[in-house]
Amino acid sequence: MKPNPILEEVWRIKDQLATEAGYDVDRFFENLRKWAEEHPHSGPVIHNAEELRQLVAAEERKRAEASAWVLKDAPPSEE
């Protein structure tokens, strides 16, 4: 089987988190809750692919509008 570095990283982190919790599921989730409190999520929460498509489309529209403003600016007048 071909090595997959992403899966290997996920497994390494999983093993590290399990070790930190002493392989106790209750302690693992307590650690997870503490981490979540210390690192609040500030961005949008995406629940499905359609929400992701809408978010990407909105961001692309914003970027296009911002570039349109740059193109509409008149060159500085030379006086």
Tens digit of each residue's pLDDT, the chain (79 residues): 799 999 999 999 999 999 999 999 999 999 999 999 999 988 888 999 999 999 999 999 999 888 776 655 666 666 6
Measure the CA–CA gap between 71 and 68, rounded to whole angstroms: 5
Q: Residue 60 is part of which domain span?
A: 5-72
Q: Is residue 57 a part of any domain in this protein? A: yes
DSSP annotation of 75 reads P
Q: Is residue 59 a part of any domain in this protein? A: yes
Q: Is residue 60 a part of any domain in this protein? A: yes
Q: Is residue 14 a part of any domain in this protein? A: yes
Q: Is residue 42 a part of any domain in this protein? A: yes
Q: Is residue 77 a part of any domain in this protein? A: no
Q: Is residue 79 a part of any domain in this protein? A: no
State the total domains in the chain.
1
* Amino acid in the structure at residue 16: Q
Q: Is residue 78 a part of any domain in this protein? A: no
pLDDT at position 74 is 63
| pTM beyond cutoff 0.75 | no
